[in-house]
Amino acid sequence: MNKILDKIKEKIRKKPWDDYVCIEKKHLLRLIAQLSQEKPKIVILEGCDGVGKSSVRVLISNYNGNYFILERFTPSIYAYGKLYNRNIDLAYIVEIESALLKAFRVCPIFLFCSIDELYKRFKKGKHVVTLEKTDLMRIQEEMHEFIDNYSLLDWLKIDNTSRSPEETFEMVKEVYKL
């Protein structure tokens, strides 16, 4: 996988751009797919604020690093778009998932927990947005709706209400052979 990243960096350096390169996701995914013989693995962690994504991400990233990790993906686009009454282009969101499936071996994980536990964790954490308990409930419901009705990915759903990050990590490690 490091060879793939080196080739991508090499191609990007050949362009007359500044140090700050902005490349559209679809072009990056296409480039990765072209450069790889075997699809690289990508782990996607999704769930509402306070559900434990960051804690699990740290454990996964410290394990062996033979994969990419995304924290937040299409369910967040859908759920937060609904919460803030934004126009959601569902076809575009599904197209992103389709492109990802072509380029990667995708390991999608959806973490959820009881609303009371979620709100308790959210109040303790450091979050960029201010959300009420009803907002968290709606976000989590919208994420479930997207995953169950629209997503192309086969999500591993984990109830994280009473699991430690270590227990969740062990489950993920076993299911996806990290």
Alpha helices by DSSP H, the chain: 2-13, 25-35, 53-61, 74-83, 90-103, 115-124, 133-149, 165-176
Q: What percent of the chain has pLDDT over 70?
A: 78
Residues 78 and 149 in one domain: yes
Residue with tokens 């782990």: 43
pTM for this one? 0.77
**Between 43 and 128, residue with greater pLDDT:** 43
Residues 24 and 63 in one domain: no
Residues 7 and 64 in one domain: no
**Between 130 and 150, residue with greater pLDDT:** 150
Tens of pLDDT, residues 133-166: 999 999 999 999 999 999 999 999 999 999 999 9
Which two tokens mark 114?
A: 């009881």
Is the pLDDT confidence value at 64 over 70? Answer: yes
Q: Looking at the 3D structure of the chain, how many domains does it have?
A: 2
Torsion of CA 59, 61, 66, 67, to 10 degrees: 110
Q: Alpha-carbon distance 136 to 140, whole Å?
A: 6
- For residue 10, what are the domain limits? 1-38
